[in-house]
Structure 1
């Protein structure tokens, strides 16, 4: 719902406010009281009890235009008062952290195929931390603005600014977390959001002379980082994974160099079409797992979203996004989560703003245009400059990569890290989870890189248990686990 208070009469403004109060969730001007009002009871379809509290609601980040961001906060399972606070951000841009991060990846409440019943995720990250999910920017998920133009003027800069304002105001509401060790994590286009917000926090703390937000570090997965290096590793991955032919690989390198992306050519377009046909009807976000035939056209392989895709649960299910759409469009679910009906979207969607393109075309639009579409105003071609700044600030910075993602592949991330020219502290090696190789890792001065074996674009969905091992290591500041060597004495 779009509403512009500047162009409305006083009576209309009062009426609008009354509708929100009448139909919406309870509201208090006292932050502590509002925290209590935000507490969520048993959710529809929740046929089990939980021993942790969780909360959801809105935080207004701009009073004049009426921009408000929607959050869902889940306390740690055990001893939340001693656990760190982790903010999770999905990307897109335009994709909901509630839809993906909470309901399909690292959150405790996952959705069964009927779209109405929940099950408890045994590998939820609230096993080790308090987790805050944020739908950002406005227009995404249940986040909204009373000024319609806000929805079409989003971009990286304002997203970081609004997210910072959200955190400062959220910590007033949840004052028990002031001063708590704070980390940010996310994936895909979150590769922009996470370091940009981290930079905003560091600069805010410097400007105010105090640690209003006690940021300790950040971690991003399969992250859009640097357009040139993301592009550089893409064709190489397709070819090395056996997805395209030798001839197409040569033609791509010959006709589709980086400059061709900035200034597209018909010859490059033609070979991209050949590559798309050779890739076939696979889930390019997870190349070795089944596609969801319920949501992907068999004839033209059009994608409903770019760069943030949910596909797995404890037992692999390629159609989890479809289940989320059913669940979060239920009025009783929205009521339980304190969604205000007057400002709720007419139809809740996992991602907003995306047009339907084949994977190859959508990816190159993102890498080469500098913006995603007409609804996204600014998107820098690289965030490596932010890495260089923040590495010197002493933050703990990790990058991880599922090695079966053909959208932002492991090769692309490695090229971006190489461009930082960081000295190696601990060389490349395998890491282990329950005696099996979970992936590989290398530690640099100021940055740790981890691959997750067999995971796609969304690591916690495809490999939930190794992903839990990953967050444990990150939060503790310890290296990824080595193989435990057991000595066997002679009998």
Structure 2
């Protein structure tokens, strides 16, 4: 071999070594050695920032948890919480289905029903201004919308995969809940339309906002069927001002309702005034401070409009009672407050390579981001249909104790979509069973190979993996494996 050939091989080898070292250094810089108060685990964790806009200096923060076993073969799952403007790390990772949950003592307790038993879990705080994510150009916060959020999330995912190249060809599932009924399908649509090589296999969205009127009008039926309002008030809702109109007016810039809606809202308020009641989990107790009761401590309902505002979903819960999930573990009703305390600790932020930019503390939902609430009225059920038509599996599920985005509207929308697409029912509506052979909920599947599925989770709230972790894990495990729920 000539000296020139040897020189060329040397240059190539040196270049590859440099590239590998750069990738490894980016990888290693984000590695979490150990979170404060964390039990010993065998899997790796990473957290840090990905720049999505160099000009505006927008940085999105992520937390990544490798699968507990066989991480090299298990799929990658991106989780997005809704709001809009609420944290996927505070809610999804530390309150719902991440590997740990903080307790009142600031110690991380292992979550037996963590979703990283089935997949490599990636949690993203999006858009910028949520959680630890930020924009150096603060004018960005003045009006954020679905289009910007989806584009930034795609930029994040593409650049994150450059940082973690071993996941470039891994099967990807995009999941989320609530307003992620917009985030998830819109991001998935961008991936499909961009011709990206990302191996998108499916989406799963829980208690999602898919179509404003159908979803929120389901609230009225749910309130009445669960004895939250009287027959008389339900009649007023159906004849004078329905729940979608109540919600629409609560989101408007006007400080008052129209006369008909004001009358209906006052009637509803009269039937459960000053009650610390969780509309997102109607059968649950709530987290109470010492000496509190469920009467008289619901500050967020001090005005009529606030009761019907759908974006006030995540409340800090400081300390108090517990409840028991049927056949399962004790549920810490105060985990959101404990998570907030934990993520605001300096040692935790240092361990996660996080920083506070433009805010004095980390919060569950952003006070910085002025989200364009007109986007709530953009229907996304058609986007779900487009994705299914392109070969992306879709699971739409509902915790059946959520009154804000109840299963009633969701089931109507999924069934209507299946009919419009000409998808035959392949699994008729029936009960499915959890790991303990108890009824986990009900399900219906449309199209071959589980193209489109609807499922309820029995006894679960708006944040189903929080209130029903075992059943939610059973549903998630079946989804990523591509199999129907156990019958």
Aligned match of 1:192: 182
Moved more, 75-84 or 343-352: 343-352
User: CA-to-partner distance for each residue in 1:151-191, whole Å, 9 max, x for gaps?
Assistant: 22211110000000000000000001011000011000111
- Deviation of the 1:339 alpha carbon: 1.2
Structure 1 residue runs without a partner (length 5+): 1-27, 206-210, 355-371, 483-491
Check whether the contact 1:189–1:307 (CA below 8 A) recurs between aligned residues.
no
- Deviation of the 1:380 alpha carbon: 4.2
Aligned match of 2:458: 453
- Deviation of the 1:45 alpha carbon: 1.6
Check whether the contact 1:53–1:74 (CA below 8 A) recurs between aligned residues.
yes
Aligned match of 1:423: 424
Aligned match of 2:101: 110
- Deviation of the 1:310 alpha carbon: 8.3
Q: Distance in 1 between the 2:454 and 2:335 partners?
A: 28
Q: Distance in 2 between the 1:310 and 1:90 partners?
A: 16
User: CA-to-partner distance for each residue in 1:92-127, whole Å, 9 max, x for gaps?
Assistant: 01100010000011100111023x111110100000
Q: Distance in 1 between the 2:237 and 2:376 partners?
A: 25
- Deviation of the 1:321 alpha carbon: 1.2
Report the aligned-residue RMSD: 2.4
Partner residue of 1:52 out of 37, 43, 46: 43
Aligned match of 2:339: 324
Partner residue of 2:288 out of 293, 301, 306: 293
- Deviation of the 1:296 alpha carbon: 9.8
- Deviation of the 1:254 alpha carbon: 0.7
Aligned match of 2:124: 134
TM-score (norm: length of structure 1): 0.83
- Deviation of the 1:62 alpha carbon: 0.1
The reply to whether residue 143 of structure 1 matches residue 133 of structure 2 is: yes
Aligned match of 1:404: 401
Structure 2 residue runs without a partner (length 5+): 1-19, 250-256, 302-310, 324-328
Partner residue of 2:234 out of 249, 252, 258: 249
Q: 1:43 to 1:461 in 2, by over 3 A?
A: same
- Deviation of the 1:278 alpha carbon: 2.3
Q: Distance in 2 between the 1:143 and 1:278 partners?
A: 41
The reply to whether residue 467 of structure 1 matches residue 465 of structure 2 is: no
Moved more, 251-260 or 221-230: 251-260
Check whether the contact 1:105–1:310 (CA below 8 A) recurs between aligned residues.
no
Q: How does 1:191-270 map to 2 (within 5 A)?
A: 191-205=181-195, 211-257=196-242, 260-261=245-246, 265-270=258-263
Partner residue of 1:382 out of 372, 379, 383: 379
Q: 1:374 to 1:458 in 2, by over 3 A?
A: closer
Partner residue of 1:123 out of 89, 113, 117: 113
TM-score (norm: length of structure 2): 0.84
Partner residue of 1:94 out of 85, 89, 100: 85
Check whether the contact 1:168–1:212 (CA below 8 A) recurs between aligned residues.
no
Check whether the contact 2:60–2:128 (CA below 8 A) recurs between aligned residues.
yes
Aligned match of 1:165: 155
Aligned match of 1:352: 366
